[in-house]
Structure 1
Amino acid sequence: MDRVIAKKKWSTKKILTIAGVTALVALLAGSYYFTSGKSRLNVDTERITISEIKKGIFQENIPVNGIVLPVTTIYLDATEGGRVEEKYVEDGAIMTKGQPILRLSNTDLELSLSNQETQVFNVLTQMQISKNNADQNTITRLNQMAEVDNAVKEAERVYNVNRKLYAQKAIGSQEYKSSENLWNYQKTRKDLTTDILKKDSLSNRQQIAQMQQSYERMQNALQLMRKKVGDLVVRAPVDGQLTSLDAEIGQSKNKGERLGQIDVLSGFKVRVDIDEHYISRIFTGLNGSFTFAGKDYRLTIKKVYTQVANGRFQVDMEFEGEVPKGIRRGQTLQIRLALSDEKQALLLPKGGFYQQTGGNWIYKLNDAGTVAYKVDIQLGMQSPDNYEVLSGLQPGDKVITSSYENYGNMQELILKKQ
């Protein structure tokens, strides 16, 4: 009896045919994939950082470091050079105005003071001698004047008597003329003596005035010399804290050399270093902020130092409102210095990608999140956390912001989880 044999739907030949066609299609797809002109690289998603583009408030600011300093600092320089003989206080002491800090010795200066004092004494003595001589000369001239005045009066009396007697012809003309000539002579003599007395008096006054001026000048010089010697004792010019004292007993200090400084404790400021790249955008009135002990504080630029050294320049910032408690001189603060006002913008988080792209392009993910491909972008200003996106991206776009150092010139990244 014949048995019915069921026909097989998937014969070996059919299976091999389908497998061959599938392999051919895969080969063609792979060939197209790898020859389409786009270089690809498989990337583990756990090794990259994916960020989302969001719209939010943006303010351009830069991170800078500042050092806390007193609002006012008075420098102590050696007015005169000398050897340090005594130190009355140590570095860090709280000083009051006029309180001595240290004493210098300078034998040359002290000897000059002694010589100056001797010169002043000599001038004073000479001036006294000259005054006495002038007084004596004046007395002598006055005595001469008195004698001449008496002689004039006597000659006038004799002349008047002889004039009457001559009119009465009691005496001859010879005797009368003689008395008249004597009277004229005595009058001339009186005029000369008066003139000499006036000139002597004027000369004496001028001489005394000149000596007085010379004496006063030497007295002023002596006072200056005494002040120089007094400056060998260095004193606090204002109330404050003594800092940076650089002087030890026996040490020699030159004139003008820095000895230390007095910090006025009425408040603090912050001295900030900024890269010269921003010098054209920094001006007084710009604000900054920092966090201290978990609390935010504000600062304002009050002074800009335009001198550039080693590619950096400095500004002074003062606290707006409350000053942090416990802040100390020399403390370093990390400040966010604002260069613009707040505004709405597309925000791209910062990352290592910028070092390889310069902000000109970025890897953007497709909707499925399986492939990232290059897109051109344009960035604007920056803050410590974000870049401002001007073009190339939209809110909700996801991009790779970690470093691209190992990607070379790959056009697309195939994102896979290991």
Structure 2
Amino acid sequence: MDTPVQSTQHRLPYIMIIVIMVAIAIGYYLSRPATLRIDGNQLRVHTVEKNAFYEYINLDGRIEPATTYVIDSKIAGNVEQVYASSGQTVQRGDTLLRIGNADLELEVMQRESQLIEQLNAQRQTRLLLNQNDFNRREQLVEVNYQLALQTKQYNRDRGLLADGLIAMADYEPSANRYAYFQRRRELLTASLRADSTARERQLRQINSFEDRILTNLIAVRAILDRLYLRAAVDGRLSNFDVNTGQAITSGQRLGEIYGLENPNLTAEVDEYYLDKITAGQPGVIAGRNDSLKIEVTKIYPDVNGGRFRIDARFTNGAVSPGQFVKGQTLRFRLLFGEERASVLLASGPFYGDTGGHWVYRLAKDGADRIPIRLGRSNPNYYEVLEGLSPGDRVIVSTYDGFAEYDHITIN
């Protein structure tokens, strides 16, 4: 069965309605005024200028110490005296607190007493060796003296015997005493030589043993130094919250010391700039006449919540320790590119209405809408590439309510 075709005459009323509505819209558009009168007090106007320009972004950085020394207790005990407080500046070697531990002190005293006894025994042995060596040398001196006397007597009696003035019986006692002292000197000399060799070897052993005892004694006495917690470095004391009488354990974290001679500046940056920031990129601390300069030292590529982290350091000399504190926030400018002279337009809400493609430039009878092209930007200015010249006055406040007009009249 054939399908009936709807007649064109049935669609004609609908076509006429659409045509009428389009005609009404066109008529309204053509009949609206081409200009609008605006109260000048509602507008913010900026004069375009030519000046030095550099691209930068403002960031809030947090001061972090370059080095931090952790304070841990070396022994267990109770806090007897606290000598410092958190936030105080300390020097290397300053005493922070004293810990009481009676068991440790008693153990150190016992070990010290044992070592002193061993040291005294070694010194007594050295004394005996030296005394024996002295006695041997004294005996040798005496024998040499007696031998000298007997040598004179022996030579005299031998001459008398040769001349027949004395009998053999009178000569023999003198010869025997002479031979006795000669032999005695030989034996004492050999004995002294052997004793001296043994004595030197024993003294070396005694000296070595005494050195070990003294080293151990110093180490034992140093154990008591653990009762005194001292600053290992110069810096500022942080998180040091201890009270007298408080019980602490060995290895317990008691605080930290940080130095701020050349601190780090840590900041979070929008991920849009992840590929635009490089190590060594310069910056300046805002509000200090650009006297404090910084440079990026490290970029952390991990993005968290749409932001990533960078570290920077001061480049024009070390910062004095008292100039900043840990955790302090500093506003700084991170610079992009080189500074150069450019035509500048102040930033403002107009950019959100036009995307930087056009602006209202003031004329004699109001303001005209003109196309422009912008380049680099910073939080204060846009770099104008085309469309504006120095001296032009431009509305930089919002264009909400009149952005569709080519010309506006300003009261």
Q: TM-score, normalization: structure 2?
A: 0.59
Q: In the alignment, does 2:308 pair up with 1:306?
A: no
Q: Where in structure 2 are the equivalents of 1:133-282 lying within 5 Å?
A: 133-142=128-137, 144-146=139-141, 148-149=143-144, 152-153=147-148, 156-157=151-152, 159-169=154-164, 183=178, 186-198=181-193, 200-201=195-196, 203-204=198-199, 207-208=202-203, 211-212=206-207, 214-235=209-230, 242-247=237-242, 249-254=246-251, 257=253, 259-261=255-257, 271-273=265-267, 277-282=276-281
**Residue 117 of structure 1, aligned match among 109, 112, 116:** 112
Measured after TM superposition, the shift of residue 85 of structure 1 is 2.5
**Residue 346 of structure 1, aligned match among 343, 348, 358:** 343
Compared CA separation, residues 206 and 399, structure 1 to 2 (3 A): farther
Measured after TM superposition, the shift of residue 197 of structure 1 is 2.4
- The answer to whether the 8 Å contact 1:101/1:233 transfers is yes
Structure-2 separation of matches of 1:45 and 1:107 = 91
Structure-1 separation of matches of 2:250 and 2:298 = 30
- The answer to whether the 8 Å contact 1:120/1:215 transfers is no
* CA deviation string 1:156-207 (max 9, x = no partner): 3563244224423567889979976874564354144234325535654664
**Residue 394 of structure 1, aligned match among 385, 388, 395:** 388
**Could you tell me which residue of structure 1 aligns to residue 76 of structure 2?**
82
Amino acid aligned to 1:117 = E
Structure-1 separation of matches of 2:37 and 2:227 = 74
Structure-2 separation of matches of 1:328 and 1:134 = 65
Structure-2 separation of matches of 1:187 and 1:107 = 67
- The answer to whether the 8 Å contact 1:113/1:222 transfers is no
Number of aligned pairs? Answer: 346
Compared CA separation, residues 107 and 235, structure 1 to 2 (3 A): same
- The answer to whether the 8 Å contact 1:85/1:104 transfers is yes
Amino acid aligned to 1:282 = Q
Compared CA separation, residues 138 and 178, structure 1 to 2 (3 A): same
Structure-2 separation of matches of 1:116 and 1:318 = 54
Structure-1 separation of matches of 2:347 and 2:398 = 9
Across the aligned residues of Structure 1 and Structure 2, the Cα RMSD in angstroms comes to 5.6
* CA deviation string 1:214-268 (max 9, x = no partner): 435533543344344224222467998643215462232418x56233779xx99
Amino acid aligned to 2:251 = N
Structure-2 separation of matches of 1:69 and 1:213 = 50
- The answer to whether the 8 Å contact 1:347/1:386 transfers is yes
My pick for the range that moved more, 137-146 or 270-279, is: 270-279
- The answer to whether the 8 Å contact 2:108/2:220 transfers is yes
**Could you tell me which residue of structure 2 aligns to residue 363 of structure 1?**
357
Compared CA separation, residues 108 and 300, structure 1 to 2 (3 A): farther
Q: Which runs of 5+ in 1 are unaligned?
A: 1-22, 31-43, 291-295, 404-412
Structure-1 separation of matches of 2:265 and 2:37 = 44
Measured after TM superposition, the shift of residue 141 of structure 1 is 1.7
Structure-2 separation of matches of 1:270 and 1:306 = 9
Amino acid aligned to 1:88 = V
* CA deviation string 1:123-179 (max 9, x = no partner): 322123213322442354245425633663465356324422442356788997997
Instruction: Calculate percent identity across the aligned residue pairs.
Output: 21
- Helix, strand or coil at the partner of 1:85: strand
Q: TM-score, normalization: structure 1?
A: 0.58
Structure-2 separation of matches of 1:101 and 1:366 = 68
**Could you tell me which residue of structure 2 aligns to residue 12 of structure 1?**
none
* CA deviation string 1:312-354 (max 9, x = no partner): 332344999xx9xx99764423233455675431335557999
Amino acid aligned to 1:388 = E
Measured after TM superposition, the shift of residue 388 of structure 1 is 2.7
Structure-1 separation of matches of 2:170 and 2:298 = 103
- The answer to whether the 8 Å contact 1:68/1:332 transfers is yes
Compared CA separation, residues 365 and 183, structure 1 to 2 (3 A): same
- Helix, strand or coil at the partner of 2:247: coil
**Could you tell me which residue of structure 2 aligns to residue 103 of structure 1?**
98
**Could you tell me which residue of structure 2 aligns to residue 60 of structure 1?**
55
- The answer to whether the 8 Å contact 2:346/2:396 transfers is no
**Could you tell me which residue of structure 1 aligns to residue 331 of structure 2?**
334
Compared CA separation, residues 340 and 217, structure 1 to 2 (3 A): farther
